[in-house]
Amino acid sequence: MDRMLVVVFDNESKAYEGKLALQQLAGEGSIGLYAYAVLTKQADGKATIKQGDDAGPLGTLVGTSFGALIGMLGGPVGMIAGAAAGMGAGAGIDFANLGLGEDYIDDVSKALRPGKVALVAEIEEDWVTPVDTRMEAIGGTIFRRALSEVKQQIHEENVAAMKADLAQMKAENAQVRADQKAKLDQKISALDAKIQAQLQRNKDRLQAAQAQAKAKAEVLQAKAAAARAKAS
């Protein structure tokens, strides 16, 4: 299962130790590691990106949950690679559509107080024990959120509800007086436009999800190839 992982540490040294532990777990095959970043929270509330994934998938994963979370906690994803300057929080990010709930963002933000350091990663794991054991031994506080397709189901149910309303309006339209018909026609037209817009958004989300899945698969393949090349 794909998950978002944030581990908050007391200092950079422990965060880097946590990063190495994630890389080791990935090398052992215990987890899949799509991308990571280490960032610190300064006294003024801004975050500094101390280190990004040296495999370079960050630009590839812009628009994914990982990119959105980094944008929220530390600034634009495109500035991560090689950047160590302070960055403000991202704005206008639709976390719900990316599988991140407001409660998760709130919990992470509260834990990432000034002076704290966070290891942020998007991973694939079948069970939580390997990561939890390593991170807790280093002294990290773990925040994890599964990235599911629940939101897509909600969008589909919303369309179904609007279609039911539309069917009822059309049935009533055949029975109302002429002076009422014009107003009902307007409501029918407006609701139909909303349905079409929602269907298009659902289509766009599906295409984006497919593109993200492909990008993440390519990231893991590139990491595996790099590891094999380094070992040979």
Sheet hosting strand 2-9, strand order edge to edge:
86-87, 47-52, 31-41, 117-125, 2-9, 141-146
Task: Give the 3-state DSSP-derived string for 190-224, with helices as H, strands as E and coil as C.
Answer: HHHHHHHHHHHHHHHHHHHHHHHHHHHHHHHHHHH
The better pLDDT of the pair 97, 139 is held by: 139
Token representation of residue 84: 């160590």
Provide the pLDDT for residue 137. Answer: 95
* Dist. CA 170–CA 207, nearest whole Å: 32
Is residue 35 over pLDDT 70? yes
- Tell me if 143 sits within 8 A of 107, measured CB to CB: yes
- pLDDT on residue 86: 36
CA atoms of 89 and 83, how far apart (whole Å): 15
Please give the structure tokens belonging to residue 4.
Answer: 């978002």
Q: Give mean pLDDT, residues 30-39.
A: 89
> Which of the given ranges, 4-8, 199-203, 210-214, has the highest pLDDT on average?
4-8
Q: How far is CA 139 from the centre of its chain?
A: 25
Question: Using an 8 Å Cβ cutoff, are 131 and 85 in contact?
Answer: no
pLDDT per residue over 79-115, tens digit each? 333 333 333 344 444 555 555 667 788 888 889 989 9
Tokens of residue 61, six digits: 């994963």
pLDDT computed for residue 53 by the predictor: 61
Segment 207-227, tens digit of pLDDT = 776 777 777 777 777 777 777
Show the tokens assigned to 165: 């309303």
Contact (Cβ atoms closer than 8 angstroms) between residue 128 and residue 142? no
Above 50 in pLDDT, residue 5?
Answer: yes
Query: How confident is the model at residue 140, as a pLDDT?
Result: 95
CB neighbourhood size of 73 (10 A): 22
Token pair belonging to 145: 């959120």
